[in-house]
Amino acid sequence: MAGQTKASGFTLIELIAVIVILGVLAAVAAPKFVDLSSAAKVAALEGVAGTMRSTAQMTKAAALAQGIEPASSNPPSGQSQFLVNVAGGSSELDWRNLCPESRAELGSRFTMVDFINLSGGMDSRVTNQYTFVGFDIPSSAPSGSGCYVIYDSFGSPNCTVTVVDNDC
Please indicate, yes or no, whether the overall pTM of this predicted structure exceeds 0.85. Answer: no
Q: Burial-class residue 53 by CB neighbours within 10 Å (0-12, 13-18, 19+).
A: middle
Stated length of the chain: 168
Q: How far is CA 26 from CA 15, 16, 100, in A?
A: 16, 15, 48
Distance CA 100, CA 104 (A): 8
The tens digit of pLDDT for each residue in 123-141 reads 999 988 899 999 989 887 7
State the average pLDDT over residues 7-24: 76
The better pLDDT of the pair 40, 36 is held by 40
In this structure, the number of other CB atoms found within 10 A of the CB of residue 82 comes to 22
